Structure formats: structure tokens, C-alpha cells
Chain A
């Protein structure tokens, strides 16, 4: 059970934060199909940053001293760098769709094609292979929190909660959850959030009340890019062993599905992300999941193919879409370029 919750969280958190990225863009009226591409780009820049600083000996001292606060601060810094990279990359999308009134679907597709190409081009030039790793070691010993890092002995039992939420976790996960909550509050409880949402519903009305629709859409897409970039790095850090290879295995698209599944609302998205994270986790390690602790790995014994588990999130999304398409409420003005002259 402990293992299941821990793993589910690891998969769910990037999904959650990237789905929220989608919400910020779509609520401001821009369809951000480029989530996948921005994740790839953010992951690459984040990993490159870790690689370069590690190469320069930036935190070898902290590692040697077991100073986990400094190491986590460093991971946080890398997340910020990835977020900045994502924000910059997403400017390509906002420029095309806000200033040039381009087709947002095609613009997003272009970024999705661009990111892996660009990333692989540079990775090949930098390390002469297709994967950029950390300069030394693996991510878990560097950035994972364990009992021993916190001063407990290896044999101490921290109880169910302690074992689940403190031992062998990435603090980046909790940072993302916190960020998710803060941003959701901003989206719903502040003036900025209200204005942003109004631009996705009826930009003409928003403009008539003195809101700069273009600026709001830039803001929405840039926040979206930053979150997606950060989500990409968190994905790379927690599930890809802090390596970048121009691929996030469709997580960006899955996040898009989570967003629709969650009906563009943060609370529903958190639930949907957990559900999808659970599926990802089951698909990745169903043979070793022991739910009630009796030593029998039930899912492994049923003998359902792993491919079915892997397919599940996408099938469920389609089925849910089929049932809720009448009720599903996308922001009304999403995907429509705002033209001041139009009524």
C-alpha cells in the first residue's frame, strides 16, 4: 500500500501540474496543445542545468556533507530554471496565437515537433548520444529523501504515514502540490484569476470592461509554459532518473486528457490526475503491488496483459468524453483568436 501511494504520487504530480498548465492557457482562451513539447524542453533545460552545475562541482560539497537542505534547494533551483525555459518556449505559441492570430492547434503541433527535434539535436552535439544524464550518479541518491537523510536509523519504523510520505520521496512532489493549491486559489479567488477566466469565456465583454485581453492571454500561456516546463523537469527527475532524451512518453497529452477529464476545474483535475497516476503506476509495476500486505500480488496473478493497463487511461478518457461531452464545459472562447474589431 505504501509503495502504491508513493508511486502513484510520483506519476500523478507531473500530470497534475501540467494539467493545471493546460487550464491556465485554456481559461485565458488559448488551446495549449504544446504541453508535451514544452515539457520536453523544460526537462532538457533542467537536466542540462543539473549536469552543468554538477560538472562544475557546484554541490559536491553539500552531497559529501549530507546537507540535504542545500541539495533540495538546488533541485528547486533546477525546477525554476526549467520553468523559465518552458515560459520562454511557450512565448512562441502566444506570439503566434495572440499577435498573429494563427491556428492554435497547428501552432501547438509545431512546438510539439520542434521541442524533441531541437532537444535531440543539442543532446547529440553535447554528449554524442541520445540521452543526457546527470554528470555523475543517479537522481535518487542525490535528490531523494530517505529515513537516513533525516537522521532516523535505517531500521526505525515511522508508522504508515511516515513511511508513505517521508521515506523515499522527492520533496519536489510536495512543492508541486503546494504550487497547485496556490495557483488554483489565484485562479478562483483573485482579481487576476477572474480577469484571466473572463478572457476565455467572453473576451469582447472583458475588453469592454477595460481588461487587456492580449496581455491576459500572454499571461495565461506564459504561466502555462512555466508550469509545463517545471512539470517536465519533475517528470525527468522522478520517473526518468533525471535524464533527458527528447521524450516524455506522452505525458503532455495525458495531462491534456486529465484536464478534460477534470472538466477544466482544479479540484476535479487533482482527482483525475490521481486516478491516471494510479493507472500509470499499476501499468509500470503491477506484478509487485501487494495491496493488503498478505504477500500475494493480486494484479500480477489475474494475468491481464500489461498492455491493457497501459492503454487504460486513454480508453477511459475516450469513454468519459463520450458520456460527458454534452455536460463537458470547455472555456467558450478557447481556440478563437481575439479580434478587437469583431462583435
Chain B
């Protein structure tokens, strides 16, 4: 058993999984520690709330509220699971967006901007084509495609700047993010799409349901009653598989990856590196745009249009999703779900205790921080094995423990 385990841990993939699980575990521990410290030092919260808080951080997805005696109850909660899948939809897609860029050696921190442009295109199309003359599914498809297109075009800008002028894509992405935030505010400011019917909703755009454009639920609402889940999650999973096939099985995908491994060697081998950089950023942008489309086409989500001072968090959260999955498109489906699970746990924490949902962002940030040196963690796992292997010591035990811990979470 021990030999088998050792052989398994020699593989890169297994090391990546172990490194991610360690990151997740440490991230959760940081979250619990902060809950404990703030609970014990703040009189209003008190020690009794700490245990509640920690249980919700770790298992919020299973929370079913409080019973009559005021104790937390846990069990299968279909609404929570459904909402988790619903929120995982954009996260999986922005995660894919970041991952595709990573594969080509680019850091796509521009996903928030691409997401915003996708949002604007989707909403304008979905709200302006009257469903009285065009069938609603056709409008839905048009809106979805225009969201992808807008994201792709926006993503291509830093790609072009990088390929043609050698401008660092991180800086170009940050600038395009803020330009997008202002541009989107400009598009909706004074437009006919602002919600003027409901009082107190002046900052929002109409829901697409107003025009009868909604993503189909087709039975998912029966499986997860009381949740927002729709077929968007299936589309996201299909796209993840498609990206996997594209990267691993097609010539263009291979070219993208070889540009990422060594741009100069790729050029020497006759690969057009400039075209591939632009293409990679455009695909990344398209995926981020798709994330926005699927989120806002659900019909019951609202877009706060005056967004010029803030970028959407879901764009940034694509970074941890991709990092945790080591840029593997299939793994992103699971890490995306994990991130949205944390999100749900945060929501439960806000509703049921004196703590609030920002603790999940702290956990996510801690995970990103650890991912920054995941290489070191991977090396530690490898190095430990080499040192311990001759002595036949209990090397695998701690790693096995972490895997279990990660699974519980």
C-alpha cells in the first residue's frame, strides 16, 4: 500500500492535487482561526459563536438553519446545493478563462473587464430584441453569443498589445478592466434598460425575464427545489470539456500550449506565436464573456450598472479556481464548485451567526496566496519523499491526512 502510494505521489498530477488540497486545508484553517480570534476577542460574539462559525465555514453547504432551541442543524439542503451549482456556473467559466491564458503563459487578470463587457452585450441584446416578434430561445442564443463575442474582443485588446508591442499583459489587463468598468457604466447610464418600474432599484438594469428571456431549467428545479439552478451549469460543464479537448487534442491547442512553454522555441518550430497570444486572450475573453451571459441570462439576476468604482469579484475569483485546478479544464469544474460552496457557506454564516460572508473571501485569498508558491509545496512533497524513502519512514501519512481533511471540507 505504501509503495503504491509512493508511486502515485511521484506523478505530477498527484502532486498537483496534493498541493491544492494542502492549500485548501490551510486556507480553511486560516478562516477558522480568524473566526476563533474575532469571536473570542469580541464580547458581542462570544466563545459559543466560535463553534457555530467554524462548523458553518467547514460545512455551510449542509446547513439547514437553526432548530427551535437555537442550535444549528445540518442535513441535505437542496436549495443550497442548487444555488451552489448556479453560482459555480460563472466561476467555472472565468476559471477556464484564466486557465486558457495560463496555458499560453499569460496571466489573464482582465477577466473582470471581459466579464463586464459580456454582461453589457448580453443584457442589451436580451432586452432590446422584442420576444413578441422573435422567438425567445433565438434571442437567448443571440444574447449568449454576443456576450461571448464582446468578451473575446475585449480580451483580444491586451493580447494584441502583448503580441505586437510587447506590453505586459497584466498591466494592459488592469487598464482594460477599469476602462470596461467605466464604459459599461456609460452604456447603461441614461439608457432605456435601467429598471424604472420598481422603486429603489434605480441602480439596476432590468432582469432579462422582463423580456421573457431565461435559461431553461428543464427538470433541475424539481431536483433542487427553491434554488436558482438552471441549465447554465450543464453548458459550463460542456464548455469545460470542450476546452479540455481543444487544448489536449487539437493542433491549435497544442500550438497555444507550446507558446506558453517556450515562446521562442515555438517560433523556431514555425508556430506563429503572435497569432497564438492574441487567440489565447480572445478565447479567454470569450469564456469570461460566456460566464457573464450565463449568469445574467438566468432571468432572475440583476446587474448593478453604476459599477465604475468596483470590478466584479467573480472575475477575480476565476484566478483561484484556475490555480487550484492547476489549469486543468476538467479539474476546474470541481474547483469552481468548491469556490461556490465556500460562497454558500459564507451566506449561511451571515444569515445564522454574527460573522459575515467576507470570511470566505479571506479563505479564497489565502488559497491564492498559497497557490503562488504551490511549486514550493510540490517540491516539498517530492523532496520529503526522496529523503524519507530510504528510511521507509511514515512519509505518506501526513499527506494522506490532508487529503482526508480536504475531502471533509
Asked if A and B bind, the verdict is: yes
A residues with a Cβ closer than 8 A to B are 33, 92, 96, 100-107, 109-114, 116-118, 120-122, 124-125, 247, 249-250, 253-254, 256-257, 260, 305, 307-308, 310-311, 314-315, 317-318, 321-322, 325
Q: Which of B42, B186, B365 meets A110, CB within 8 Å?
A: B365
Please report whether the interface of chain A is mostly helix, strand, loop or mixed according to DSSP.
helix
B51 to chain A, nearest CB (A): 17
Number of interface residues of B (CB under 8 A): 49
**Are B183's CB and A311's CB within 8 A?**
yes
What are 22 of the A-B contact pairs (CB < 8 Å)?
A96-B369, A102-B372, A106-B107, A106-B319, A106-B323, A106-B368, A110-B372, A116-B358, A120-B358, A121-B34, A122-B38, A125-B42, A125-B354, A125-B355, A247-B309, A250-B309, A307-B182, A315-B179, A318-B172, A321-B172, A322-B161, A325-B167
**Are B376's CB and A109's CB within 8 A?**
no
Q: Which of A305, A307, A317 meets B175, CB within 8 Å?
A: A317
CA A125 to CA B359, docked complex, whole Å: 11
CA A100 to CA B370, docked complex, whole Å: 10
B170: A residues at CB distance < 8 A: 33, 105
**Are B362's CB and A114's CB within 8 A?**
yes
CA A88 to CA B185, docked complex, whole Å: 36
Known: A310-B308, A318-B167. 10 other contacts (CB 8 A): A100-B372, A107-B369, A107-B373, A117-B359, A120-B358, A121-B34, A121-B355, A121-B362, A254-B178, A314-B176
Whether, in the assembled complex, B356 has its beta carbon less than 8 Å from a beta carbon of chain A, the answer is yes
**Are B310's CB and A321's CB within 8 A?**
no
A124: B residues at CB distance < 8 A: 356, 358
Q: Which of A113, A253, A305 meets B368, CB within 8 Å?
A: A113
**Are B310's CB and A96's CB within 8 A?**
no
A305: B residues at CB distance < 8 A: 186, 189
A121 in contact with B319 given A250-B178, A311-B179 (CB within 8 Å): no
A254: B residues at CB distance < 8 A: 178
CA A209 to CA B308, docked complex, whole Å: 49
Whether, in the assembled complex, B109 has its beta carbon less than 8 Å from a beta carbon of chain A, the answer is yes
**Are B323's CB and A325's CB within 8 A?**
no
CA A249 to CA B171, docked complex, whole Å: 17
Max chain B C-beta neighbours (<10 A), residue from A114, A121, A310: A121
CA A120 to CA B354, docked complex, whole Å: 14
Produce 1/0 per residue, B231-250, CB < 8 A to A: 00000000000000000000
B323: A residues at CB distance < 8 A: 106
**Are A113's CB and B373's CB within 8 A?**
no
CA A177 to CA B143, docked complex, whole Å: 51
Please report whether the interface of chain B is mostly helix, strand, loop or mixed according to DSSP.
helix
A102 in contact with B309 given A310-B182, A322-B167 (CB within 8 Å): no
CA A103 to CA B327, docked complex, whole Å: 15
CA A107 to CA B166, docked complex, whole Å: 23
Whether, in the assembled complex, B366 has its beta carbon less than 8 Å from a beta carbon of chain A, the answer is yes
**Are B38's CB and A105's CB within 8 A?**
no
Whether, in the assembled complex, B278 has its beta carbon less than 8 Å from a beta carbon of chain A, the answer is no
B310: A residues at CB distance < 8 A: 247
**Are B368's CB and A110's CB within 8 A?**
yes
Produce 1/0 per residue, B14-50, CB < 8 A to A: 0000000000000000000010001000101100000
A121 in contact with B183 given A96-B373, A114-B369, A250-B309 (CB within 8 Å): no
Q: Which of B161, B364, B376 meets A102, CB within 8 Å?
A: B376
**Are A117's CB and B161's CB within 8 A?**
no
**Are B185's CB and A253's CB within 8 A?**
no
For the complex of A and B, 7 pairs with smallest distance between CB atoms: A117-B361, A114-B365, A110-B369, A307-B186, A102-B373, A113-B365, A110-B368
**Are A113's CB and B175's CB within 8 A?**
no
| CB closest residue in chain A, given B34 | A121
CA A86 to CA B375, docked complex, whole Å: 27
Whether, in the assembled complex, B271 has its beta carbon less than 8 Å from a beta carbon of chain A, the answer is no
Whether, in the assembled complex, B174 has its beta carbon less than 8 Å from a beta carbon of chain A, the answer is yes
B38: A residues at CB distance < 8 A: 121-122, 125
Max chain A C-beta neighbours (<10 A), residue from B170, B183, B372: B372
**Are B175's CB and A101's CB within 8 A?**
no
**Are A113's CB and B364's CB within 8 A?**
yes
B178: A residues at CB distance < 8 A: 250, 253-254, 311, 314
| CB closest residue in chain A, given B39 | A125
Q: Which of B44, B358, B373 meets A117, CB within 8 Å?
A: B358
**Are B167's CB and A321's CB within 8 A?**
yes
Produce 1/0 per residue, B339-360, CB < 8 A to A: 0000000000000001110111
A241 to chain B, nearest CB (A): 15
Q: Which of B172, B359, B373, B375 meets A121, CB within 8 Å?
A: B359
Whether, in the assembled complex, B316 has its beta carbon less than 8 Å from a beta carbon of chain A, the answer is yes
CA A81 to CA B364, docked complex, whole Å: 27
B367 to chain A, nearest CB (A): 8
B371: A residues at CB distance < 8 A: 106, 110
| CB closest residue in chain A, given B172 | A318
Whether, in the assembled complex, B165 has its beta carbon less than 8 Å from a beta carbon of chain A, the answer is yes
